[in-house]
Structure 1
Amino acid sequence: MGDSYDNALAETVIGLFKTELIRRRGPWRSLEAVELATLEWVDWFNHRRLLEPIGNIPPAEAEANYDAQMDDMANAA
């Protein structure tokens, strides 16, 4: 179960998506064009976007580092 912060985060990401992709690259000729552009944007957002608060690395890399650290801790126990 989530809280109000979950909703605020989702609304922020949706706002970024609309600003960075939908409005900037429109008008769109087809639904398929929007779907393909959305997949590309999500890939960039997760795998190539560098975030300063987590050490200027992409979110997917930070998650992989965390998972590896948790695996190491579980194996040490």
Structure 2
Amino acid sequence: MRPPIESAQYTSAEFSALSAQFGIRLSVGRTGQCWDNALAESFFATIKRELLGTCSWPSRALARTAVFDFIEGWYNSRRLHSSLGYLSPAEYEAALAA
């Protein structure tokens, strides 16, 4: 089991400097700015509602496999997203690339 991650690791000066060195722009807003995580929160609400809340999971391994299958086999490839003009993320990416 991995040790818990401290949120301070991601707001430290060292982390910011290393990110800048590799050209990574951090997306860390002020405390209490809920819209910073709105996209992630929306995704997690969807996965809870459409997958995890539908049955009990007898093991962590089965739940992990189901989450992977949900994301790769349904959410990214076939599920239509209103914010993408009712295209799946895969269709949207393909349209952008064309």
* Same fold by TM-score greater than 0.5: yes
The equivalent residue for 1:48 is 78
| Rg larger in structure | 2
Q: Determine what percentage of the aligned residue pairs are the same residue.
A: 36
Q: Which runs of 5+ in 1 are unaligned?
A: 69-77
Q: Which runs of 5+ in 2 are unaligned?
A: 1-25
TM (normalized to structure 1)? 0.71
Shift of 1:29: 0.6
Q: How many residues align?
A: 67
TM (normalized to structure 2)? 0.58
Write the deviation string for residues 12-44 of structure 1: whole angstroms up to 9, x where unpaired. 11011111111112x111111101110111020
Report the Cα distance in structure 2 between the residues aligned to 1:55 and 1:8, rounded to whole angstroms.
19
Report the Cα distance in structure 1 between the residues aligned to 2:69 and 2:77, rounded to whole angstroms.
10
What does 1:4-19 align with in structure 2 at a 5 Å threshold? 5-19=35-49
Q: Of the two structures, which has the highest relative contact order with CA contacts closer than 8 Å and spacing of 6 or more? A: 1
CA RMSD of aligned residues (A): 1.8
Greater fraction of residues in helix: 1
Quickly say closer, same or farther: Cα 1:6–1:48, change in 2 above 3 A. farther
The equivalent residue for 1:75 is none
